[in-house]
Amino acid sequence: WAMYADDIEAIQRLKREQDAVILAHNYMTPEVFHGVSDIKGDSLALAREAQHVDAGTIVLAGVHFMAETAKLLNPSKRVLLPDLRSGCSLAESITPEDIAQLRRDHPGAPVVTYVNTSAAVKAASDICCTSGNAVKIITSLGVDKVIMIPDQYLARNISALTGVEVVTHPGACEVHERFTPLDIVQIREGHPGVTVLAHPECPPEVVAEADFAGSTADMQRYVETERPASVALITECSMSDNIAAQHPDLEFVRPCNLCPHMKRNTLGAIRAALETGGPEIDVDPAVAEPARRAIERMLQVN
Ligand code: 13P
Ligand code: SF4
């Protein structure tokens, strides 16, 4: 960690000077996650916590849609995203026009939109969900059929759990779609007794091979309550690194894929954001109100 000391010290000082807090997704590298972050968690926790930030500036160590969500939920704050290129393959897969077409094709079906989308897509939706609350959100609607976009795999995994028919969209997470059932078979062969936890953005046949599926926060809770001696997290690489740092007694088998968007949040980029006051995230006023409504509906359910 000696190589990070200068940046960490500068960031801690800048946070005080700028009245800033850092909200960090679980996929940040350990020096960001454990070194400089104030509020940490999955997409759901970051959305919830963003509402209650008192500081004047939020630095969102995550990706663009997370920064937009923070801005929507706490609009008087300055929200900084260290690198504007931090996108998401799911968010990029869908437009409001795609939703309009789905509504025409499936009249009456509510549109449940994963938070991994732009504010404009959220604005065209009825309610949002995250991987941590998708079952509760779908069940709360009390209908037999929903349009659930844009992650085809999350949609199919949640349909299997709830029995609700889902119409979806061909979006996928570029990190989780790369895992295969064979990956898990090989992990089990190499590590007898290992517990395998998969993210529900993985294809259903991958989830079927796992012992448990859940959001990044669900995975952390599972590890901390069940304390499996050996565990494999089928998700982004930093997830295991961050939990392993807190639980050195547990063995983490690491079959992981990197998210290039998350990895743009280096200490250097965070420091530069605090030094320059940018890039700042704002949301088009034409979509802010309906997008906020879709997120707030979600937070009212869970
Ligand atoms: P969660 O942290 O909500 O499980 O989301 C994972 C993810 O890929 C976020 O981009
Ligand atoms: Fe998007 Fe997947 Fe990266 Fe999360 S891990 S930001 S879902 S591409």
Q: What residue's CA is closest to ligand 2, atom 1?
A: 88
- Regarding whether 66 and 193 lie in a shared domain, the answer is no
Partners of 22 in the beta sheet? 59
What residues in the chain have per-residue pLDDT under 70? none
CB of 235 closer than 6 A to ligand 2? no
Q: What residue's CA is closest to ligand 2, atom 2?
A: 173
- Closest ligand 2 atom to Cα of 89: 8
CB of 132 closer than 6 A to ligand 1? yes
- For residue 279, cis peptide bond before it (omega within 30 degrees of 0): yes
Q: What is the pLDDT of residues 202-212, one digit of tens each?
A: 999 999 999 99
CA of 10 to the centre of ligand 2 (A): 28
CB of 219 closer than 6 A to ligand 2? no
- Regarding whether 269 and 148 lie in a shared domain, the answer is no
Q: What is the pLDDT of residues 110-167, one digit of tens each?
A: 999 999 999 999 999 999 999 999 999 999 999 999 999 999 999 999 999 999 999 9
Helices 64-73 and 285-301: angle between axes, nearest 10 degrees: 80
- Regarding whether 164 and 289 lie in a shared domain, the answer is yes
Q: Distance between CA atoms of 243 and 216, rounded to whole angstroms?
A: 10
- Regarding whether 199 and 166 lie in a shared domain, the answer is no
- Range(s) of the domain holding residue 201: 176-258
Nearest to 61 by CA among 242, 251, 244: 242
CB of 261 closer than 6 A to ligand 2? yes
Rg value, the chain, Cα: 19
- Regarding whether 170 and 234 lie in a shared domain, the answer is no
Could you give the number of structural domains in the chain?
3
Predicted ipTM beyond 0.95: yes
At 159, the amino acid letter reads S
Give pLDDT, residue 96.
Answer: 98
- Regarding whether 210 and 67 lie in a shared domain, the answer is no
Give pLDDT, residue 165.
Answer: 98
- Regarding whether 109 and 245 lie in a shared domain, the answer is no
Give pLDDT, residue 255.
Answer: 86
- CATH code at 296? 3.40.50.10800
- Regarding whether 81 and 200 lie in a shared domain, the answer is no
- Closest ligand 1 atom to Cα of 201: 8
- Regarding whether 238 and 192 lie in a shared domain, the answer is yes
- Closest ligand 1 atom to Cα of 199: 4
Give pLDDT, residue 98.
Answer: 98
Report phi then psi at 111, rounded to 5: -100, 115
Q: Distance between CA atoms of 190 and 260, rounded to whole angstroms?
A: 28
CB of 216 closer than 6 A to ligand 1? yes
DSSP 137: H
- Closest ligand 2 atom to Cα of 261: 3
CB of 220 closer than 6 A to ligand 1? no
Q: How many CB atoms are closer than 10 A to CB 1?
A: 9
CB of 70 closer than 6 A to ligand 2? no
Q: What are the CA-CA distances from residue 10 to residues 6, 15, 79, 264 (Å)?
A: 6, 9, 19, 19
Ligand nearest to the CA of 131: 1
- Regarding whether 234 and 187 lie in a shared domain, the answer is yes
- Regarding whether 51 and 71 lie in a shared domain, the answer is yes
- Closest ligand 2 atom to Cα of 90: 1
- Regarding whether 268 and 241 lie in a shared domain, the answer is no
Report phi then psi at 200, rounded to 5: -70, 0
On the 0-12 / 13-18 / 19+ scale of CB atoms within 10 A, 61 is: buried
